[in-house]
Amino acid sequence: MNSNGGAPYGSNEPTSFDLQPPQPGVPGPPPGAPQPAGVPYPGNPYAAPTQVVPEQQVPQTQQMQQMQQEPGIGRLIVGRYRLLGKLGHGGMGTVWRAKDETVDREVAVKEPRVPDHLPERERSNAFERMRREARAAARLDHPAVVNVHDVAVVDGQPWIVMELVQGRSLGAALREGTLGVREAAKIGLDVLGALEAAHAAGILHRDVKPDNVLLGPHGRVVLTDFGIAQIEGETNLTDTGGFVGSPEFIAPERVLGQRPGPASDLWSLGVVLYAATEGISPFRRTNTPATLQSVLNATPAAPNAAKGPLADAINALLNKDPARRPNAAQIRQLLEKAAQPPQETKLVQPASPGGKSVRIGRKGWIGIAAGLVVATAVTGFLAMGNPFAGPLPDDWKQQTLSGKVGASVGVPAGFVKDKPDTNADGTYESYSDPSGQVSITVDRDVKADDTNNEIPDSASAKAFEDWAAMKDGEYGWDIAEKPAPKGEPKEATYKEKKAAENTVVYTNTDTQNPRLREARILYYKAGNGDMYRIWIDYPGKGIFTEEGREIAKTAIANLDIDKL
């Protein structure tokens, strides 16, 4: 099991106090604050100093004397397991290295250790937790879960016999320094796999932390210590007013006494990944009450060392609301991307007939919009056909829009039709997912109603008209003027006909909760002069960004205009 035998941080500190529910905007401690030497997590002002004596500094004769003096060494458990030496100990027990003399192999044996002064009820609960640990781990068949071989009962107390994983804990490794992004992502994938296996079997781990992650030989990673795991359908062993687990890794909903679920274990994984890469345990404070308050209310500094998909995974996992955390499958996608080695990318530019690269700036696009066509550019776009072509996925539905819109569009299952604006003329229709993260809108400017001749002459001209309004702060659709939105209109095709598109990254206009958004927009002018636009809007950063881009690609591919 773990190197400390399962002792939680701050287990001797008081835990009865008034807790405040999560509050937005409470900052965490600034990283890089001064601290004494020897802190396990570099840069963490709240970590307790430790002193590690390298084993090679202890003379061999002294080691042998210590072994000879160690009580219990040489003891034979149930006539089979010979204790060879201690691997670690803590509040819940001692872990021994032992020899299984029946099959001649080394194993790890966890001896229960409960203080004699505890009431009988608490002693019984402690022993029952160990039995549950054995049952929980034995139900799981996953390479990242330690194998349980046996439960040996000695004087009514359960000794757990499990495979001996040679290596050290992630906690011990982090005392020497932080992990790189790829290494942390790989370890995170293994821990995530163990949690997925546990959750599928109806088991919550409830104590995911660096000390419970073992780094074995040949790159093996093992999640250990299911001692406080909760098996679905079994009675909760936590005494009234108390909790079990390591405070800085406990999810907010558990601190508040709410019913935990798989999202609670995933929160703990997010804290582990943050500490592993940033060198700071984000919620640790000088005592247990302060630590739990920080879990509820503190917002850690944004990941600095963790970049890209790994940072997205950490940020998403540390959402105080368990309903808004991503599921294991979504986190796996991000971690797999983060674990990939960097790949070289080459920029391929179109060549002119003379062999030189061609770059078409804004003036060139305006010229095209006015009717000046560059022959080589048009030939290239037409040769592409429809770059958005693709079948409608099985879990999507082709929605027929209102008669005034005159089109249909593919929409993911579960998306709902938005209520129409009471001031609208019915020439647009929008669908959104229930969370409001992603929306698909199709609108139409009808040429027959354009009495002031306001519809531009081409899709490109319309794209630049919208883009200019966005940058000047004169466009609606919740787009803030500052910071300035980013994008660049470009030519495209729709059903082998000329079109235009733009991908706009902007900040919304909510001053209390500004968020980065991204919108992919396709413009098409039909032969009768009507102007169509499909606008797919989604988060510009985080777990839903890639998903939003895929939805945009598929929705555009399945836009069907009645009259081309």
Could you list the active site residues?
Answer: 207
Phi, psi of 139 (to 5 degrees): -75, -10
Other C-beta atoms lying within 10 Å of the C-beta of residue 474: 10
Q: How many Å separate Cα 72 from the centre of its chain?
A: 44
Q: How many Å separate Cα 421 from the centre of its chain?
A: 36
Other C-beta atoms lying within 10 Å of the C-beta of residue 496: 13
Helix, strand, or coil here: 112? strand
Cis peptide before 483 (omega within 30 of 0): yes
Is 110 annotated as contributing to ligand binding? yes
Euclidean distance between CA atoms 107 and 404, whole angstroms: 74
Give CA separation, 174 vs 26, 97, 168, 178, 275, in Å.
Answer: 27, 24, 11, 6, 8
Helix, strand, or coil here: 431? strand
C-alpha closest to that of 524 among 450, 432, 455: 455
Q: For the chain, how long is the longest CA-to-CA vector? A: 100
Instruction: Report DSSP letters for 29-42, one per residue.
Output: PPTT----TT-SST
Query: Which strand (E) or helix (H) includes residue 422?
Result: none
Query: Which strand (E) or helix (H) includes residue 275?
Result: helix 262-278
| Edge-to-edge strands, sheet with 221-223 | 168-169, 213-215, 221-223
Other C-beta atoms lying within 10 Å of the C-beta of residue 405: 21
Phi, psi of 154 (to 5 degrees): -125, 115
**% helix, strand, coil for the chain, step of 5:** 30, 20, 50
Q: By the 8 A CB rule, do 277 and 306 touch?
A: yes
Euclidean distance between CA atoms 83 and 76, whole angstroms: 7
User: Cβ neighbours of residue 347 under 8 Å, at least 6 residues apart?
Assistant: none
C-alpha closest to that of 526 among 487, 490, 499: 499
Please tell me the total number of residues recorded for the chain in this structure: 564
Helix, strand, or coil here: 420? coil
C-alpha closest to that of 92 among 122, 121, 136, 72: 122
| Residue type, position 506, single letter | Y
Q: By the 8 A CB rule, do 335 and 313 touch?
A: yes
User: Cβ neighbours of residue 302 under 8 Å, at least 6 residues apart?
Assistant: 311, 315
Annotated binding site: 110
Annotated binding site for ATP: 110
